[in-house]
Amino acid sequence: MNLPPEALTAKGAAQARVRVQAPRPYDVLIAPGLLEGLGEFLREMGLLVPHRRLFLAHDAGLPAEIVETAAVSLHAAGGRLSRSAVEAGESAKTMAGAERLLVEMAASRHERRDCVVALGGGIVGDVAGFAAAIYRRGVPIVQCPTTLLAMVDAAVGGKTAVNLAVEGSLKKNLIGAFHQPRLVIADVSVLRTLPDRQFRCGLAECIKHGMIGVEFGEPALLEWIEAAAPALLARDEAKLVELVSRNVALKAAVVGLDEREEAEDGGRALLNLGHTFGHAVETVEGAIGEGTRAPGIHHGEAVALGLIAATRCAEESGACPRELKLTERVRALIQRCGLPRSAAGLPSDEELLARMAHDKKVMGGILRLVLPTGPGRAALFADPPRQAVLAGLQAIRAGGAAGC
């Protein structure tokens, strides 16, 4: 499809379109003001024909004007719209949360070719995406991410999931399906209202992308983020369009090569750089990240800590030459982006190792870690030396990072 007409975006505003080469290719449109034309985009793509039903699942916490802009546009394009507000907490990302959406879709007489529109962050996109994947064995979905993290990662690539409580512990994303969207609309003007902490969490995923960019067409992304960090933090719109489009292009390249995370040499699994260490600290009750007052480590903050831990572990294990001083560089960028470099209140090494052993990349009881091998490069390593993993954990303990 063509990029939106000039009238839909502020005059002269930056805009971009990235094609994702999934089995059914689709576009990611990136520009300010796109939600105003949402209905028109769906109509152009044949996803909205007059009198066809639409189901809009939106984050209950979004500013009302963002939801109204999308709803008015869908309505004006002729859609018979049903709406559902989703609480954007991990508690909504459950089978019960998905079931609620499915019941509402059925009650609204949503049919096989009717489209679901997900408007919100990663949680709304995941649970609405999962509902769309299983309702009548799959109905079309358009993802409209409203957080930086969802724009650069969650909304692109077709992963949908809910969590499952197993014997008292919450297993994240245990139930899910690959269900590629038909279109992704990233309206960067909504990032203006995103709380600072959430915005910075999105930057952590961008730094991660910068650390694997060489193989996926973005060899200079890390340097670019280093230079652009002040403008990004000031939410300069043109820089945000460039940030989102470069990150989406990278993710599209990864997904185009390995849609279902099956590649032997890493492939899509490389997107998990920092996540195995990160997941171990993310769920620790009472842990406090550097620079935050309230206990609790958000996902993007855990990824930032995980990137430092993985880089330190890579240096210690020999995967990444120490003379490149990559840990120092990653720590400096994470600080520059206002993300934590360490956390207080972490449990013992043994407990953290046990948490890492539950990671989804453990295979046959063997821990597999994505580790950087140089700037912009990473690889998957099976059974890394225990001492190296412990050095990674030590690097993110408050007061324990000296010498990294």
**Is residue 261 among the annotated active site residues?**
yes
CB of 269 to ligand GLY, least distance (A): 8
In this complex, which beta carbon is closest to ligand GLY, that of residue 259 or of residue 316? 259
CB of 151 to ligand GLY, least distance (A): 12
Single out the residue of 268, 279, 299, 368 in contact with ligand GLY (rule: CB under 6 A): 268
CB of 59 to ligand GLY, least distance (A): 19
List of residues 6+ apart from 243 with CB closer than 8 A: 148, 152, 206, 225, 228, 232
Active-site pick, 261, 301, 315, 316: 261
**Is residue 159 among the annotated active site residues?**
yes
CB atoms within 10 A of CB 21: 13
**Is residue 75 among the annotated active site residues?**
no
Number of residues that bind ligand GLY (CB under 6 A): 5
**Is residue 172 among the annotated active site residues?**
no
Active-site pick, 93, 159, 209, 361: 159
The residues in 357-396 that bind ligand GLY, with binding defined as CB under 6 A, are none
**Is residue 179 among the annotated active site residues?**
no
Per-residue binding string, ligand GLY, 169-208, x by CB under 6 A, is ----------------------------------------
In this complex, which beta carbon is closest to ligand GLY, that of residue 23 or of residue 365? 23
Alpha carbons within 13 A on the beta-carbon side of 283: 17
**Is residue 299 among the annotated active site residues?**
yes
**Is residue 328 among the annotated active site residues?**
no
**Is residue 259 among the annotated active site residues?**
no
In this complex, which beta carbon is closest to ligand GLY, that of residue 37 or of residue 213? 213
What CA dihedral angle connects 81, 43, 141 and 256, to 10 degrees?
-170
The residues in 135-174 that bind ligand GLY, with binding defined as CB under 6 A, are 153, 157, 159
Active-site pick, 43, 268, 331, 341: 268
**Is residue 58 among the annotated active site residues?**
no
- Can you give the chain as a three-state secondary structure string? CCCCCHHHCCCCCCCEEEEECCCCCEEEEEECCHHHHHHHHHHHCCCCCCCCEEEEEEECCCCHHHHHHHHHHHHHCCCEEEEEEECCCHHHCCHHHHHHHHHHHHHCCCCCCCEEEEEECHHHHHHHHHHHHHHHHCCCEEEEECCHHHHHHHCCCCEEEEEEEECCEEEEEEEEEECCCCEEEEEHHHHHHCCHHHHHHHHHHHHHHHCCHHHHCCCCHHHHHHHHHHHHHCCCHHHHHHHHHHHHHHHHHHHHHCCCCCCCCCHHHHHHCCHHHHHHHHCCCCCEECCCCCCCCCHHHHHHHHHHHHHHHHHHHCCCCHHHCHHHHHHHHHHHCCCCCCEECCCCHHHHHHHHHCCCCCECCECEEEEEEECCEEEEEECCCHHHHHHHHHHCECCCCCCC
Single out the residue of 98, 139, 152, 271 in contact with ligand GLY (rule: CB under 6 A): 271
Work out whether 239 is an interface residue with ligand GLY (CB under 6 A).
no
CB of 297 to ligand GLY, least distance (A): 18
CB of 388 to ligand GLY, least distance (A): 24
CB of 205 to ligand GLY, least distance (A): 8
Work out whether 355 is an interface residue with ligand GLY (CB under 6 A).
no
- C-beta nearest to ligand GLY: residue: 271
Work out whether 298 is an interface residue with ligand GLY (CB under 6 A).
no
CB of 106 to ligand GLY, least distance (A): 29
Active-site pick, 43, 93, 246, 299: 299
The residues in 307-346 that bind ligand GLY, with binding defined as CB under 6 A, are none
Give the interface with ligand GLY as residue ranges (CB under 6 A).
Answer: 153, 157, 159, 268, 271
Active site residues: 137, 159, 205, 251, 261, 268, 272, 275, 279, 299
